């Protein structure tokens, strides 16, 4: 396996952060939506922490665990920026 290619968990985290960003863009600002976004964000941070734990174990042959740390830390910053852009003042519908 090419060592430049990121680990599948790193790519999966990136896809979920992209999805979260889309959800935020489409948010209607309702209490239900804001609560859902909060839950998604919290779960993502837990998943990111778990991926970082995985990156510390002994890799299988040709497994690129080193890419997890780099990619996941970038995605943690990105999801935090997206999260901070949310207006948590519910809108009247």
Checking if the pLDDT of 57 tops 70, the result is yes
Give the global pTM.
Answer: 0.81
**Average of pLDDT values for 7-27?**
91
Q: Who's near 88: CB < 8 A, 6+ residues apart?
A: 34
Cα distance between residue 26 and residue 88, in whole Å: 14
More confident residue, 29 or 25: 25
Q: Which two tokens stand for residue 93?
A: 């519908």
């Amino acid at each position: 396996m090419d060592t430049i290619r990121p680990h599948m968990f790193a790519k999966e985290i990136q896809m979920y952060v992209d999805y979260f960003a889309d959800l935020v863009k489409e948010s209607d600002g309702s209490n239900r939506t804001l609560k859902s976004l909060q839950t998604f964000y919290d779960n993502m941070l837990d998943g990111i922490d778990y991926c970082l734990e995985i990156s510390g174990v002994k890799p299988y042959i040709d497994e690129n665990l080193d890419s997890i740390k780099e990619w996941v830390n970038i995605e943690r910053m990105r999801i935090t920026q997206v999260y901070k852009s949310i207006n948590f003042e519910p809108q009247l519908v």
